[in-house]
Structure 1
Amino acid sequence: MPKPNDARGPGRPRSERARRAVLTAARELLTDRGLPGLSVDDIAARAGVSKNTIYRWWPTKAAVLMDAFTDAFSGRMEAPADGDALTRLRTGVRRVAQLMNTPDARRPFVALVAAAQHDPELAAALRERFINSRRAEVSRLIATGIGNGQLPADLDTDVIIDLIYGALYYRLLVSGAQIDPAYADRLIDALAPILQTSTQ
C-alpha cells in the first residue's frame, strides 16, 4: 500500500522537482513565519505549483509540513548500522542532540510540536511521520542488542526510549537547557548501569 504522501492522480506521475520545491517551500515558510496562518496557498505560491498539485500528493497541510521536516532531517538522526548496541545507541542519541542544537532543525520542530497540541491532524502527522518511525528504529536497535547478548534480556524497551528521548525533548521543549552531544553522553552514561549486561 503506498504511503499517503505517495498518492498520485491517474496518469500524473509525481514530478520530483515539484515535490522538492513543495517541501523546501514548506520548510522555509515554517522557519520564516512560524506555523500560525501558514496555508497550502502560501506553500503552493512559494513552490510555484498549484494547490491541487499539493493535494494530489498530500492529504493535509500537516502532512506536507511533517514530510518537509522528516525529508530534511530524519536521515541525520539515524544510528549507525555497525558497532555494538550501546555504541550505536549513544551515537544515535548524539546525532539527535547535535541536530536539535541547530536552529534550522530546532525551530521548525518546536513549532510543529507546539502547534500539534491544538491541531489533531498535525498531532497525528507528527506521530505517524516522525515519532513512530524514530521509536521503531531505536526499538529494532535494542532488540538486536538483546538478541546478541549486548544488552540485558529483561530490558524494558519502551521505558528506555521514554527515558532517553523524554529527557532530550524536555530540554528542547520545556526547560530550554542546553542540548548537545555532551549532554547525550551524560544521559547514556547515567543509564549505563541499566543498559549493560552482567558480563560487561
Structure 2
Amino acid sequence: MQKNSEAPFLLDEERLENIRRVVLELVASRGLEGVTVDAIAAAARVSKQTLYKTWRTKSALIRDVVRMISHGAHLGDPGDLGSLREELWLILESATGILQTNRRLIVALLDGAQRDPDIMSIMRRDTRDKYRESLQRPLKRAIARGDISPETDLNLIADVALPVLLHRAILDDVLDEEMVKTLLDDVLMNLVIRPGRSKD
C-alpha cells in the first residue's frame, strides 16, 4: 500500500482489516463522535501508539475506513439482459440489500459527513457517483438498443431512485420487494422517454 499522510503502512493486512472492522462496528453503534482512539485500541487489542504510528489522527483512520466501505459497497452490473426494467430491478434490489444491512452505519456516516468535509467528499465521490453510474449503465444500453430516447435524463432517474431508498433506510421504513416495484414501475419507468415521445 502506498505511503502517504493518512494511509496505513506499518501493520500487516490481517491486523489492518481487524482494526477497520472494529472501527465500523464502533461507528455503527456509537456514531462518529462517540468513537475514541481508546475504544478502538481496546476493541482491536492494539496499542494507541500503534494506531498513531499507522494513522496520524483519529480523523485519518475514520477517513481510511470510509474510503474502504465506499469502494466495497458497489452495486455491480447485471449486464445486458435486453430489458431495461429487469436490469434496473436487479440494481435496485442490490442497493436495497446494502442499505438494509448497513443502515446504522450509513446513518452514522451521513451524520459525521455534515461536520467533516473530507468524509462528505469521499461519500459524494466514491459512493453517490458510483451508485449513479451503476443506474445509468442500463439506461445507456437501452438508448443504444433504441428502447428509450437519448433525451431521457439519466441523472434525474438516478438522483430520484437513490435518495428515495436512502431516505427509507434512514427512517427504518419498509424496504421490501413491493416498495422497490412501486419505485421502479410507478416512478422511474415513467421518467424514461420512449422513442418518438417528446420530452415535453
Larger radius of gyration: 2
Asked whether the 8 Å contact 1:26–1:65 carries over to 2, the reply is: yes
Percent same amino acid among aligned pairs?
Answer: 23
- Structure 1 unmatched ranges of 5 or more: none
**CA apart distance, 1:8:** 6.0
The unaligned stretches of length 5 or more in structure 2 are none
Which residue of structure 1 lines up, in the alignment, with residue 78 of structure 2? 80
Residue 109 of structure 1 is matched in structure 2 by: 106
State how far apart, in whole Å, the 1-side matches of 2:30 and 2:89 are: 34
Task: Report whether the alignment pairs 1:38 with 2:35.
Answer: yes
1:149 Cα deviation after fit: 2.2
The question of 1:121 aligning with 2:118 is answered yes
Contact 1:25 1:46 in 2 (8 A): yes
Counterpart of 1:189 (choices 181, 185, 191) is 185
**Structure 2 counterpart of 1:147, one-letter code:** A
Asked whether the 8 Å contact 2:23–2:62 carries over to 1, the reply is no
State how far apart, in whole Å, the 2-side matches of 1:80 and 1:101 are: 20
Q: Deviations over 1:53-110 (max 9, x none)?
A: 5428x97233233135336x614x33423413331111111221233234xx111001
Q: State the one-letter code of the partner of 2:78.
A: P
Contact 2:80 2:138 in 1 (8 A): no
Indicate if the aligned counterparts of 1:86 and 1:195 stay in contact, CA closer than 8 A. Answer: no
Corresponding residue of 1:162: 159
1:178 aligns with 2:200: no
Are the equivalent residues in 2 in contact too, given 1:41–1:51 (CA < 8 A)? no
TM-score, scaled relative to structure 2? 0.76
Deviation at 1:139, TM superposition (A): 2.7
Opposite residue 186 of structure 1, the aligned amino acid is T
What are the equivalent positions in structure 2 for 1:12-91 lying under 5 Å apart? 15-49=12-46, 50-52=50-52, 54-55=54-55, 60-70=60-70, 74-75=73-74, 77-84=75-82, 85-91=84-90
Q: How many residues align?
A: 189
CA distance in 2, matches of 1:93, 1:17: 33
- 1-side partners of 2:99 and 2:24: how far apart? 15
Q: Distance in 1 between matches of 2:22 and 2:177?
A: 30
2:44 maps to amino acid: A
Deviation of the 1:155 alpha carbon: 0.9
Residues in 2 aligned to 1:5 and 1:152: alpha-carbon distance in whole angstroms: 47
Kindly provide the amino acid, as one letter, of the partner of residue 67 in structure 1: R
Query: Does the aligned pair in 2 maintain the 1:69–1:109 contact within 8 Å?
Result: no
Residue 176 and residue 170 in structure 1: after superposition, are their counterparts in 2 closer, same or farther (change >3 A)?
same
